[in-house]
Amino acid sequence: MIKTIKTGRVYLIILVSLLITLSACDNQVIDVIDTNATLPPIPSQINGPFIIEGANILKNGESISYKGVNAMQTFGLENPDLMEEWNIEISREFIGNLREQPIYGNPILGSDDKWYHPLQTIVDQNRSKNIITILSPFGWVDDKGEQILLTGLNPSSQPFYEAYKLKMKQIADHFKDQADVWIQVWNEPYHWDNKNAYSHELWLNDMKEMVDNLRWINGFHNIIVVPGNEQGQSEDAIINKGKELVEGRFNILFDIHAYEKWLVDTNENQLITRMSNLKKMELAFIIGEVGVQNVGEVMEVRHFLSAARAVNVSVMAWLWNRNTKYNNALMKKNGQPNSTEANNYWGETYKEFLGTD
């Protein structure tokens, strides 16, 4: 962190010089806000059409919710007509190599020997079918080609944290005029049972820093997606510290992932109450992931989808993938639902959910 210097001009010169130096490899100068205020300023008018107001996501002033999927189009573009056929409205896009992920231009071969498609190309294809895109970092690949998955990690403790924040700034700066692109600050942080020195105060400080990191970009009004704790499955941090996070900030949408802690030994009424209580706190949230299997056996998910429908919560399934050997994959190779007794007929169940009002 750069300490605040009383003379605004000196502070600005130091900040801009640092950003130019760090981003030179991408030939990109980041357009930061000219201010030394404690918090990034809230604009007098937020560039729409998407605005978070209390517990609601508004589009052109009307409350909306979306049904969609998690996709991995950084590895290869999917058939957009098929996404339209399934009634997909929002796609949370997996970024497994944030350091080398191209933002625009041509696909690149990463140091991990995998090809990566540019984020702008993915966004453009999704947009052609009126699909909202959430860009979500899942991993960092070092210069030796070794991948570090972000799930379960304390963000600010990672040796690549400063470089990570810079790349996120570059993404925000590129997409700041594309309101249908929402950016998630981190996928599934912190240990699933709150070990490794976790505290809600740590969550709050990390989220403030990563949210403000993006908001310092001049003109970046896009929705920012903030995960819960316990590798995304818990809303406890949101309940305890969410109000403090959103105070003085805008367009923050919380993300909860629904696996064992939501699906096992629960019923529809319990889940309706749980989701409704969170909404009553006037905090907007989505279900960024739900699937039939995580670390244990295949789980029942129908009661969860019914509850989400009743409370009108946005939901994204894990995973838009053609792989019958993977129980969470929604499709067979031919694009038809991957539905067998072994995966609780997941593909058909979710496709039916996508088709309901």
Asked whether residue 122 falls in the same domain as residue 192, the answer is: yes
Determine, yes or no, domain membership for 244: yes
Asked whether residue 124 falls in the same domain as residue 268, the answer is: yes
Taking the CA atoms of residue 253, residue 99, residue 74 and residue 125 in that order, the dihedral angle to the nearest 10 degrees is 60
In which band, very low, low, confident or very high, does the pLDDT at 36 lie, cut at 50, 70 and 90? low
Asked whether residue 149 falls in the same domain as residue 202, the answer is: yes
pLDDT digits (tens, 9 = 90+) for 270-295: 999 999 999 999 999 999 999 999 99
Cα–Cα distance for residue pair 166/172, rounded to 1 Å: 10
Determine, yes or no, domain membership for 311: yes
Asked whether residue 85 falls in the same domain as residue 194, the answer is: yes
Asked whether residue 169 falls in the same domain as residue 79, the answer is: yes
CA nearest neighbour of 66 among 126, 132, 124: 132
Between 34 and 112, name the one with better pLDDT.
112
Helix (H) / strand (E) element for 306: namely helix 302-311
Asked whether residue 260 falls in the same domain as residue 153, the answer is: yes
In which band, very low, low, confident or very high, does the pLDDT at 31 lie, cut at 50, 70 and 90? confident
Percent of the chain with pLDDT strictly greater than 70: 91
Asked whether residue 81 falls in the same domain as residue 206, the answer is: yes
The structure tokens listed for 126 are: 């999704």
Asked whether residue 83 falls in the same domain as residue 192, the answer is: yes
Asked whether residue 126 falls in the same domain as residue 203, the answer is: yes
Task: Give the sign of the dihedral formed by CA 112, CA 206, CA 152, CA 55.
Answer: negative
Stretch among 32-36, 88-92, 161-165, 323-327 having the lowest mean pLDDT: 32-36
Asked whether residue 163 falls in the same domain as residue 240, the answer is: yes
Residue at 191: amino acid letter? H
Asked whether residue 256 falls in the same domain as residue 220, the answer is: yes
Determine, yes or no, domain membership for 92: yes
CA nearest neighbour of 68 among 340, 290, 225, 344: 290
Residue pointed to by tokens 């593909």? 347
Determine, yes or no, domain membership for 156: yes
Determine, yes or no, domain membership for 191: yes
Determine, yes or no, domain membership for 49: no
Asked whether residue 176 falls in the same domain as residue 299, the answer is: yes
- Structural domain tally of the chain? 2
pTM exceeds cut of 0.95: no
- Judged against a pLDDT cut of 60, whether residue 339 lies above it is answered with yes
The structure tokens listed for 33 are: 């806000």
- Domain of 24? 1-38
pLDDT digits (tens, 9 = 90+) for 133-172: 999 999 999 999 999 999 999 999 999 999 999 999 999 9
CATH number, position 121: 3.20.20.80
Determine, yes or no, domain membership for 53: no
Cα–Cα distance for residue pair 18/6, rounded to 1 Å: 18
Greatest CA span in the chain, whole angstroms? Answer: 66
Residue 203 is classified by DSSP as: H
Determine, yes or no, domain membership for 46: no
